[in-house]
Amino acid sequence: MRPRLWRLGPTRVYAPCNRHNVQTRPYPRQLLQKSPLSRVPGYFTDELLPKYMSSSASTRTAPAVEVGRIVPGARWDYRLHQLLEGGMSQSTVFKAEILPRKSDARPARWAAIKMAPNNRASLEALEREYDIYSMHNVASKSCFRDLYDVIGGNLNAGAGIEGLVFEWMDCTLANLSPKKYQRNPVIIKAIVDAVLHGLIALEMGKLISNPTAYCSLVSTLSILLPKWAIWALVRPCNPRQLGTCLQILVLPDGYRGAAQPFAMRAPEVYMGLGCIHRSSIWALAATLFCWVRPGVLGAANSQIPFSNEAWCIVKLRRLFPNWVVPPIEDDVCRCEFELADALIEESTPRVLEVSSLEEELEATPTLPEIKDLLRFMLIIDAQLRPTAAEVLRSKEYLALEKETQK
């Protein structure tokens, strides 16, 4: 029996903007009737809408701190200097000045402080992040930024902490001009090295190979760089010389929620299969691809604001026209793929703006070695996609490495 469409009134349907951060916005029924959504059986149903509503994220509430205030940590005190906007985390992040106590030398002048909202889920996520950064396999690697201190707890235990204090990095990959650096093999290789070695460290630390493990999210906002290293690029260069490092944003391995940003989200995550180690390989390639050729992936120019997932799937189906999608068990994911297929059938101008991956790479103004490496990592089937170690051994990576030595 076909599920009954969800109706909240004679003229309007309230459609969720996305699966995990639900906001009920009214859309005229006429708009929905004209859209391909009307051909998708049961997209908004009695069964599915409660799932949307129950998975809604908690309202973000900032901690009771403000710029200029001095916050005590376990090792040093911190004067909050600037509230940072536009990050990936639900936490509130500040740039802060480190204030040494007595004769204690501070590691640097500035630090980044992440303060969790006052709710259980956010505080538990902060504790998980502390646990991972405290592991020797992570703390000893230069590809991860340093954890300096904690707020509201002690350095020997993650329980009860309210904030984490990290090494300050001047900018993210998102702040870096692709026009200036997209043909620079040194900086591309440094970024690739930092992310891949970080993923290997997590895997070697048994953080990915078991159900209670965690993996890292990769995006233009989680790749951090100091400005001094960008200004003084040296060839050849390694990640430590360049200072590139990865910010760990943790989630359980196999997590089925909307963990990755739309543009960096792996195909298997859209299918409801969960985020795994190879999902981060896709995210690395997608991050670099979005950086040098923005708009091809993700929700940009979406024609269906109440389902950004479906629009992102449209782009993936256009990039990989031979992609055979296996049967999808998750009801919501299956409906999103059906809506995407309906949009592709209509062949609207915005849909046709996205070409195949080969055509998009050919139009990308970057080095052939970088295109080859992206092509090697952007494998639609997660089982066939290389691991971090396999990427580092690949002829595509070695060709990029050779290019940095010219």
SS3 content of the chain, % helix, strand, coil (to 5): 40, 15, 45
**Cα 203 to Cα 247: distance, rounded to the nearest angstrom:** 16
Are the beta carbons of 251 and 215 closer than 8 angstroms?
yes
Judge whether 52 lies within some domain.
no
Residue 326 included in any domain? yes
Q: What is the pLDDT of residues 374-396, one digit of tens each?
A: 999 999 999 999 999 999 999 99
CATH number reported for the structural domain that contains residue 366 in this entry: 1.10.510.10
Residues 204 and 150 in one domain: no
d(CA 270, CA 278): 14
Query: What was the pLDDT predicted at 158?
Result: 59
Residue predicted with more confidence, 351 or 252? 351
> What local confidence, expressed as pLDDT, does residue 111 receive?
94
Q: Is residue 195 part of a domain?
A: yes
What's the chain's length in residues?
406
Quick one: pLDDT band at residue 337, thresholds 50, 70, 90?
very high
Are 179 and 161 found together in one domain?
A: no
The stretches of 323-394 forming alpha helices (DSSP H) are: 331-346, 349-352, 357-362, 368-377, 388-393
Whether residues 135 and 183 share a domain: the answer is no
| DSSP secondary structure of 254-317 | TB-SS-S-GGG--HHHHTTS-B-HHHHHHHHHHHHHHHHSTTSSSSTT-S-TT-HHHHHHHHHH
Residue 349's DSSP bridge partners are: none
Any residues with CB less than 8 A from the CB of 232 and at least 6 apart, and which?
Answer: none
Tell me what the mean pLDDT of segment 342-346 comes to: 88
Last residue of a domain, one of 108, 137, 165: 165
On whether both 217 and 91 belong to a single domain, the answer is no
Judge whether 208 and 202 are in contact, CB under 8 Å: yes
What does the block give as tokens for 108? 């640097």
**229 lies in the same domain as 300:** yes
Residue 39 lies in a domain: no
- The number of folded domains in the chain is 2
Given a cut of 80, whether residue 261 has pLDDT beyond it is yes
Q: Are residues 77 and 225 in the same domain?
A: no
- Domain at 96, CATH number: 3.30.200
158 and 189 in one domain?
no
Cβ–Cβ under 8 Å, residues 266 and 223: no
**Residue 25 domain-assigned (yes or no):** no
Mark which of 141, 165, 189 sits at the end of a domain.
165
Burial of 228 (0-12, 13-18, 19+ CB in 10 A): exposed
Q: Does 59 score more than 60 pLDDT?
A: no
CA atoms within 13 A on the CB side of 2: 9
Domain hosting 92: range is 70-165
Shared domain for 122 and 146, answered yes or no, is yes
Whether 208 is covered by a domain: the verdict is: yes
Rounded to two decimals, what is the model's pTM? 0.77
Q: Is the pLDDT of residue 273 over 80?
A: yes
Residue 20 pLDDT > 70: no
Tell me: pLDDT of 88 over 90: no
Contacts of 359 (CB under 8 A, 6+ apart): none
Between helix 185-204 and helix 395-404 the angle, nearest 10°, is 130
Least-confidence region, from 177-181, 246-250, 252-256, 351-355: 252-256
pLDDT digits (tens, 9 = 90+) for 110-165: 999 998 887 787 888 788 888 888 888 788 888 888 899 999 877 776 567 889 99
- Let me know if 219 is exposed, middle or buried by CB neighbors in 10 A (0-12, 13-18, 19+): buried
What SS3 string covers 159-203?
CCCCEEEEECCCEEHHHCCHHHHCCCHHHHHHHHHHHHHHHHHHH
Residue 15 lies in a domain: no
244/322 same-domain check: yes
Q: 41 φ, ψ to 5°? A: -65, 125
More confident residue, 35 or 25: 35
Confidence of residue 327 (pLDDT cuts 50, 70, 90): very high
| Per-residue pLDDT reduced to its tens digit, 193-234 | 888 988 888 777 654 433 333 445 566 666 766 554 443 343
Same domain, 256 and 304: yes
**Model confidence band, residue 259 (pLDDT cutoffs 50, 70, 90):** low
Alpha-carbon gap, residue 79 to 84, rounded angstroms: 14
**How many angstroms separate the Cα of 138 from the Cα of each of 202, 278, 280?**
7, 19, 17
At position 343, the amino acid (one-letter code) is L
Nearest to 102 by CA among 81, 80, 76, 79: 76
Q: Are residues 297 and 397 in the same domain?
A: yes
Final residue of a domain: which of 139, 165, 191? 165
Give the pLDDT band of residue 1 (cuts 50, 70, 90): very low
Assess if residue 29 is contained within a domain: no
Residue 215, burial from CB neighbour count under 10 angstroms (0-12, 13-18, 19+): buried
| Shared-domain flag, residues 152 and 212 | no
